[in-house]
């Protein structure tokens, strides 16, 4: 049995606050949680640890404070399968941490951790155990002599669990690393544990790690030698949910106060007293909801790639759980208010965004529900004809990867089919292989990794790159680092894919929506063709392929940016700023930027607005921008202190972190934004601005796409060619097109009507025959017939004619044209009394043509696109009636 010591009940909010207050009292700056989307680092998918936002300080670039504390929002996707299974895995969680950048070290870190747990939270000393790294004599001495922990409660652990990064000593990577010391809570002896020496290394569940203190004191050299770091750092992490579970006397994190409102909402909106979910599923929903709400709140829009894909997958996974439980309506979004309720105290911004979040989730779940409705029957139909496991594996892959059905949905469908267990096993193996191949491909094409530090950033002494690209597109520079893969090398040669770091560069690195520059870097001995430029912090990384010769570290090189392409990018970037001003002018000040992409071909701008834009609005926006272009307004760029910039009224977007100074880009008297991008000097250089698309990407978020300069001109020319093509077909000059098309349309309508009349006249003649040939049961006629090339309107008229011929009848008529299939049913009053109803009959027939229908007992109709199924449906109706009457 686990035994808990009764601790004073503290809420999650109280515990979080207590932690931050405690470290503030020890001289730490309390820093706000960074966004889940790390703004300065495009190589990382999500924020996964507290120290991530302190990478600069960690690498020795101190501005301001040397001690910090945070409660950091984190999102991890690597343990997705474990969520709900264990007591403590989450996708979204909060990490409490205290950090020292060359300030205090082990003695204070350990002392304060102990003080916080035992004096502030009053956890009894005897419930706490600790671990130290086996070779860390210093930490061991502090625990035993300073803290005076009982020797039996201190364990020494090895390279895997008590060194950061794990096993770094043996296997690398090179760079900062160090031993850890962990603090464990003892839930009490576990009867099921057979280990006579049960300690924190035992996995019976008795011990739970609550705090990890990392002492970053070494710089690992090539070959594994550990060199002492001149400036030592402290990085600690304590999972808030875990700590709260301990403090509230719970074993499972989901039983704590922060999950209670969310689980209550799951019961209220999903279970509703009739749909029963498994406990694990409820916990998965509660976990994923927090990840979804915070992810969208921090600007991630569900999509098919990168971060957006993670959001979409989480929403779909829980939609699937809900549908499998038997619900048919979209429900996930109804849980949002409960998450907001649980988390609004530390994150009040959730309250403003709640409606947008609801809308975005709703859209994803509704479209998934639709996908399921369409694809599930399709999958079953196709799977029925499959004989080989390989083919089935292919099919599963297509429906999983292309159409987005979840694995559990597919598993469920397969259960009802003819496959044996072995066949299914083999099919899933094929599927796994296809998935793996696909993941490898997408990994290769993605620059994102899950690591906090890429191999490169672990190299401590890379100097910042000086950026010259605001003034020039060419410069000379010195090669400071070369990498092949993530390995540092001294020399690169023809054919290799390489990363180059220079002391200074004119290449713009991707950020703020503007793509990285391309071009070349060449020395006397060789040339590298640069295909992309990225940056980590202030280090610019040029990605490219060695076109010829060799290049070495310390080479003098000539750096040349592809100037035409850069100019095209700048046209689009400056135009994006004017577009933003235009949107606020035309649509209103509620327009907020949600994201943008600027490359050489086009610009894309996402913003908050609740309705589709009208043609007039789009025209007004385009006019605003082109007026600005025509007046050749100056574009000024200045670096201001953050206070000056805010006072100037410049627009700043996202919860971005800015340094002490910011760059402000102003255009005319209508645009002023914080922006690090490269811009034109005059709006006149844009040449021409043309909007080419307007769409919704989520509820409340619209997307505009536009082109500028020569690209806009090309677009206009293409449109012109299309007009000329149409004019040629119609054999009129372009300026007479409208008149001609109007006339043609009128003429077509008239002809259609004539054809319809002729056809009806012909049918009229055959009505007599149809009526005579119909089955007769006593007084009642069962009239069924299927017509070719007839629409619903004419079908009604035919039915009216037939009705007049008899008193007691059931008439079922089918018809199809090139585009539509229709069924029309009329029943006489005496038959209704006998229980034959048109609307009941149509409910049976509509599914046969995969359509929908409805009506009254006297008359009902159904329509669909399945023209070839009408005949069979009408025949079926006849048989049904014969049986019934
Ligand atoms: Zn044990
Ligand atoms: Zn900008």
**Residue 188 CA: which ligand is closest?**
1
Indicate which ligand has the atom closest to the C-alpha of 184.
Answer: 1
pLDDT for position 236: 96
The number of CA neighbours under 13 Å toward the Cβ of 245 is 21
- Around Cβ 283, how many Cβ atoms within 10 Å? 26
Considering every ligand atom shown, identify the ligand nearest to the alpha carbon of residue 201 and give its number.
1
Q: Taking the CB of residue 82, how many other CB atoms lie within 10 A of it?
A: 12
Residue 763, both tokens: 């049918």
- Predicted local confidence at residue 471, as pLDDT: 92
Q: In sequence order, what DSSP letters do the residues of 21-52 get, joined into one string?
A: HHHHHTT-EE-PPPPSS-TTBTTBSS--SGGG
pLDDT at position 31, please? 93
CA distance 527 to 521: 6
Q: How far is the CA of 540 from the centre of ligand 2 (A)?
A: 19
* 785 close to 813: Cβ distance less than 8 angstroms: yes
Q: From the CA of 76, how far away is ligand 2's center (Å)?
A: 30
Query: What is the 599 CA–ligand 2 centroid distance (Å)?
Result: 12
Q: Which ligand is nearest to the CA of 512?
A: 2
The half-sphere exposure of 271 on its side-chain side, counting CA atoms within 13 A, is 15
Q: How far is the CA of 164 from the centre of ligand 1 (A)?
A: 25
Check: CB of residue 93 under 8 Å from CB of residue 343: no
Name the burial class of residue 885, with classes exposed (0-12), middle (13-18) and buried (19+) by CB atoms within 10 angstroms of its CB: middle
Q: From ligand 2's centre to the CA of 510, what distance in Å? A: 12
Three-state secondary structure call for residue 297: helix
Per-residue pLDDT, 444: 47
Torsion of CA 548, 550, 556, 561, to 10 degrees: 30
Ligand found nearest the CA of 195 = 1
- At 81-137, the pLDDT tens digits run 888 888 889 999 999 999 999 999 999 999 999 999 999 999 999 999 999 999 999
What is the CA angle 12-18-22, rounded to 5? Answer: 155
How far apart are the C-alpha atoms of 431 and 410, rounded to whole Å?
A: 12
With tokens 């009848």, the residue in question is 809
> Could you say which ligand is closest to the alpha carbon of residue 2?
1
Q: How far is the CA of 447 from the centre of ligand 1 (A)?
A: 42
The alpha carbon of 187 and the centre of ligand 1 are apart by a number of angstroms equal to 11
pLDDT at residue number 416 = 78
Residues of the chain with pLDDT under 70: 1-8, 39-43, 440-461, 486, 652-660
Ligand nearest to the Cα of 208, by number: 1
Spacing, Cα 207 to ligand 1 middle (Å): 8
Using left for φ > 0, alpha for ψ between -120 and 50, and beta otherwise, residue 711 falls in: alpha
Task: Tell me how far the alpha carbon of residue 665 lies from the centroid of ligand 2, in angstroms.
Answer: 8
CA 145 – ligand 1 centroid, Å = 27
Q: Looking at the CA of 667, which ligand is closest?
A: 2
pTM: 0.64
Tell me the CA–centroid distance for residue 278 and ligand 1, in Å.
Answer: 28
Is 192 in contact with 204 (CB distance < 8 Å)? yes
Query: Helices 306-324 and 349-384 meet at what angle, rounded to 10?
Result: 70
Q: How far is the CA of 71 from the centre of ligand 1 (A)?
A: 31
- The pLDDT mean for the chain works out to 88
Ligand (nearest to CA of 653) = 2
Distance 457 CA to ligand 2 centre (A): 26
β partners of residue 164: 178
Ligand nearest to the CA of 200: 1
The set of residues, in sequence order, having a beta carbon less than 8 Å from that of 205 and lying 6+ positions away, is 87, 187, 190, 251
Query: How big is the chain, counted in residues?
Result: 885
């Amino acid at each position: 049995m686990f035994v808990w010591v009764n601790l004073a009940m503290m809420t999650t909010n109280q515990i979080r606050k207590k932690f931050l207050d405690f470290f503030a009292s020890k001289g730490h700056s309390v820093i706000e949680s960074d966004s889940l989307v790390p703004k300065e680092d495009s190589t990382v998918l999500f924020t996964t640890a507290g120290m991530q936002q302190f990478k600069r300080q960690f690498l020795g670039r101190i501005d301001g404070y040397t001690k910090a504390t945070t409660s950091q929002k984190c999102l991890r996707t690597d343990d997705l399968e474990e969520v709900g299974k264990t007591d403590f895995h989450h996708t979204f969680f909060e990490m409490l941490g205290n950090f020292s950048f060359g300030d205090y070290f082990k003695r204070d870190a350990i002392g304060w951790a102990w003080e916080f747990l035992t004096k502030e939270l009053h956890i009894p000393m005897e419930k706490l155990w600790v671990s130290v790294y086996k070779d860390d004599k210093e930490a061991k001495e502090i625990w035993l002599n300073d803290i005076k922990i009982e020797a039996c409660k201190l364990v020494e652990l090895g390279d895997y669990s008590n060194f950061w990064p794990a096993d770094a000593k043996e296997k690398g990577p090179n760079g900062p690393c160090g031993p850890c010391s962990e603090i464990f809570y003892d839930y009490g002896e576990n009867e099921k544990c057979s280990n006579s020496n049960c300690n924190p290394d035992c996995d019976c569940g008795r011990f739970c790690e609550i705090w990890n203190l990392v002492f970053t004191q070494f710089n690992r050299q090539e070959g594994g030698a550990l060199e002492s770091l001149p400036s030592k750092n402290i990085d600690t992490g304590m999972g808030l949910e875990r700590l709260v579970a301990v403090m509230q006397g719970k074993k499972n994190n989901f039983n704590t106060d922060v999950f209670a409102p969310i689980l209550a909402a799951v019961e209220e909106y999903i279970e509703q007293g009739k749909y029963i979910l498994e406990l694990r599923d409820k916990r998965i929903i509660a976990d994923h909801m927090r990840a979804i709400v915070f992810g969208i709140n921090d600007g991630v829009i569900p999509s098919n790639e990168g971060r957006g894909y993670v959001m979409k997958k989480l929403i779909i996974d829980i939609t699937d759980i809900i549908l499998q439980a038997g619900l048919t309506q979209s429900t996930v979004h109804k849980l949002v208010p409960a998450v907001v309720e649980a988390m609004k105290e530390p994150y009040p911004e959730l309250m403003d965004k709640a409606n947008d979040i609801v809308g975005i989730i709703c859209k994803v779940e509704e479209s998934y529900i639709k996908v399921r409705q369409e694809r599930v029957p399709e999958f079953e139909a196709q799977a029925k004809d499959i004989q080989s496991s390989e083919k089935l594996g292919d099919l599963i892959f297509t429906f999983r990867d292309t159409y987005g059905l979840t694995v559990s949905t597919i598993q469920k469908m397969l259960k009802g089919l003819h496959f044996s267990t072995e066949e299914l096993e083999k099919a899933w193996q094929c599927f796994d292989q296809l998935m793996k191949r696909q993941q490898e491909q997408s990994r290769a094409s993605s620059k994102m990794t899950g690591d906090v530090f890429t191999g490169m950033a672990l190299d401590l002494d890379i100097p910042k790159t000086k950026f010259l690209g605001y003034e020039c597109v060419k410069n000379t520079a010195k090669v400071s680092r070369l990498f092949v893969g993530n390995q540092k090398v001294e020399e690169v040669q023809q054919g290799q894919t390489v990363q180059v770091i220079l002391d200074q560069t004119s290449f713009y690195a991707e950020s703020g929506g503007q793509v990285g520059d391309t071009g070349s870097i060449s020395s006397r001995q060789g040339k590298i063709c640069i295909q992309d430029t990225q940056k980590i912090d202030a280090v610019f990384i040029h990605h490219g392929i060695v076109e010829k010769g060799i290049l070495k570290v310390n080479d003098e090189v000539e750096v040349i940016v592809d100037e035409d392409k850069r100019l095209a990018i700048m046209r689009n970037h400056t135009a994006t700023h004017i577009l933003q001003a235009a949107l606020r002018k035309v649509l209103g000040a509620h327009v907020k930027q949600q994201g943008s992409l600027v490359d050489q071909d086009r610009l894309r701008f996402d913003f908050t607005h609740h309705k589709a834009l009208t043609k007039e609005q789009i025209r007004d926006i385009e006019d605003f921008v082109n007026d600005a272009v025509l007046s050749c307004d100056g574009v000024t760029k200045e670096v201001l202190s953050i206070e000056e910039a805010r006072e100037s009224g410049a627009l700043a977007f996202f919860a971005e972190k800015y340094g002490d100074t910011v760059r402000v880009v102003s255009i005319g008297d209508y645009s002023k934004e914080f922006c690090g991008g490269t811009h034109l000097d005059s709006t006149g250089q844009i040449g021409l601005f043309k909007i080419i698309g307007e769409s919704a990407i989520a509820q409340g978020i619209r997307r505009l796409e536009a082109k500028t300069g020569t690209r806009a001109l090309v677009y206009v020319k293409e449109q012109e060619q299309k007009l000329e093509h149409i004019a040629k077909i119609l054999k009129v000059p372009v300026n007479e097109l409208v008149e001609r098309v109007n006339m043609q349309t009128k003429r077509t309508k008239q002809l259609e009507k004539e054809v319809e009349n002729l056809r009806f006249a012909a049918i009229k003649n055959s009505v007599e025959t149809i009526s005579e040939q119909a089955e007769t049961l006593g007084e009642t006629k069962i009239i069924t017939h299927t017509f070719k090339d007839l629409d619903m309107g004419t079908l009604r008229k035919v039915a009216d004619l037939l009705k007049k011929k008899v008193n007691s009848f059931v008439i079922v008529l089918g018809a199809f044209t090139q585009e539509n299939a229709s069924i029309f049913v009329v029943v006489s009053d005496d038959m209704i009394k006998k229980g034959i109803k048109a609307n009941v009959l149509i409910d049976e027939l509509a599914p046969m043509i995969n359509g929908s229908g409805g009506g009254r007992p006297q008359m009902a109709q159904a329509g669909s696109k399945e023209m070839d199924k009408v005949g069979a449906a009408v025949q079926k109706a006849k048989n049904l009636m014969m049986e019934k009457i």
